[in-house]
Structure 1
Amino acid sequence: MLAWFKSTPLKQLEAQRDRIATQVYPEPLQSLVSTPLADTLTDARLLDVIVLDFETNGLNPQVHNVLSMGWVEITNGIINLGSARHYLIRSETAITGDSA
């Protein structure tokens, strides 16, 4: 199922990860950078993933901030609601109507 992605960007990502993996990181980052990417023929529905969600007050990282973040695990195609987490991040900036 991942085969519809062009292999060139995936190969570039794999090469970048190989360069990063040569550096020493604390766990769990070392495990993350040393885990190989899925093959392009892998059915994406069978992959274990963590879905991340970030709420921001804009899209410019130079000016705007992350207001909250959340995640949930999907294992064997099943959303594990017990793994869901959500954290509010204190922000000193005002929330505008543009970001709502």
Structure 2
Amino acid sequence: MHTKIILTVNSFEEGGDGVTHQNAIINKYHEDDTPVVALSTGCFSNKKMCHHRITINGNGRSVKALMVNHCDSTMGCDDEHDYQPPCPDNIVDALKGVWKV
């Protein structure tokens, strides 16, 4: 299955912007140079993607990344995450390790 996404950069290190306690799938932090992602509600498929690797293609390259978190794109963010508004269902938050590839 191919889905067009918007890839964003985030941090799942301790204190990082992408770390939340409510929606963690794997309850641990991740170094920014690792290939892991968080999927927005539309890509998440009701937990079907938990612990699976997804392939991200762009600019003639591809990278496999482990899905370790979920961003509830329908509700927006809490005070810890600057009250950002809900995002589209095709957002994938990726660590710098994904972008380096």
Shorter-chain TM-score range: under 0.3
User: Scaled by the length of structure 1, what TM-score is found?
Assistant: 0.22
More helix as a share of residues: 1
User: Scaled by the length of structure 2, what TM-score is found?
Assistant: 0.22
